[in-house]
Amino acid sequence: MQFAIDQAMKNYTCVACRATRLSRTETGEWSVHLSDGSRVTGRKIWLAAGVIGTAQLVLNSIDTMRGASFRDHAPYMAYASGLRHLLRLRPGHHFNAYTLERIESSHCDVFASIYDMGSAELNLVLGSAINLVSPFLRGVRSPSLASMLQPVQIWTMRSFSRIVLDATGSRYSSHLDDASTDDGLCQTIAAVSSLGGKVWRHNRTPGGLGFHYHDLRMTLDDGRDIPVNTLLRRWSDGHVLCSDASILPTIGLRPHTLTAMATARYLVKKQSEQ
């Protein structure tokens, strides 16, 4: 992925500053204001700052925004034991040891990852267990005893949430989709049991901690929500466009990184042909 980005950017000038807001110049060009006080101008701006970064830039650039909201996966985290025999059999040693999928009519409606915490960085284990991360432990591998409990992260068609930001981008609230009767969760626990495991407990990940952000919508002063690219096209007459996962209205249960990249490539190619 990094190689693809480097190849795409090799003929362009890169600026090692953070973008803070966008504005239109007196000559009709568009400016990107940078964190060092300078500006970069051009005829067209492509936003690919990630959902949160794009939301913040739009809120900083358009005064008539009340806030923003986006969707996220809010998966279950189940804690199991009895799966160490699977961990020993696998050929590699990545902490994302196994994937479980349920496929119905060529559609994935349950996606789960079994983690081997003994193959993870120690910071990941400490962060999950006691919310502690240290830069001194970066790159240090966890002890093998960490594999005694096997976490299983479970995504289903009901495990989504919506996160709402205020206009400053500094305060947020989250709303979980109703998953009180989630067949996907029950099916995954049954699958883990069939593999010899026992699930001791499970809980729902809070909204915003799933990191599969998508469907960015900006909230106008009158309370209406509008997709980010629709707003940007109206505001800039088509000169400011977004090409990251913000514009994906829905995502599947598998990681959607390649979907976002393919969408971005299509949009940029289509614009260059016009």
- Return the domain boundaries, the chain: 2-70+213-273, 75-204
Alpha-carbon 56 to chain mean position: 15
Number of H helices, E strands in the chain: 7, 15
Taking residue 134's Cβ as centre, other Cβ atoms within 10 Å add up to 11
> Has residue 90 got a pLDDT over 80?
no
Two tokens at 167?
Answer: 């206009």
- State the virtual CA torsion across 183, 178, 196, 146 in degrees, nearest 10: 160
Backbone angles phi, psi at 15, to 5 degrees: -120, 125
Is residue 128 predicted with pLDDT exceeding 70? no
Predicted structure pTM score: 0.84
Which residues, in sequence order, are CB contacts of 174 under 8 Å at separation 6+? 72, 74, 161, 162, 163, 164, 206, 207, 208
User: For the segment 9-49, what is each residue's pLDDT rounded down to a tens digit?
Assistant: 788 888 889 999 999 988 889 999 999 999 999 888 999 99
Chain segment 149-199, per-residue pLDDT in tens? 888 999 999 999 999 999 887 788 999 998 888 999 999 999 999 999 999
* pLDDT score, position 34: 95
Extract the tokens encoding 144. Answer: 């093998």
- Mean pLDDT over the full length of the chain: 87
The rounded distance, in Å, linking the Cα atoms of 205 and 209 is: 6
The residue-averaged pLDDT of 205-215 equals: 88
What is the pLDDT at residue 251? Answer: 93
Per CATH, domain 2-70+213-273 is 3.40.190.10: no
Q: What are phi and psi of 35, to 5 degrees?
A: -65, -20
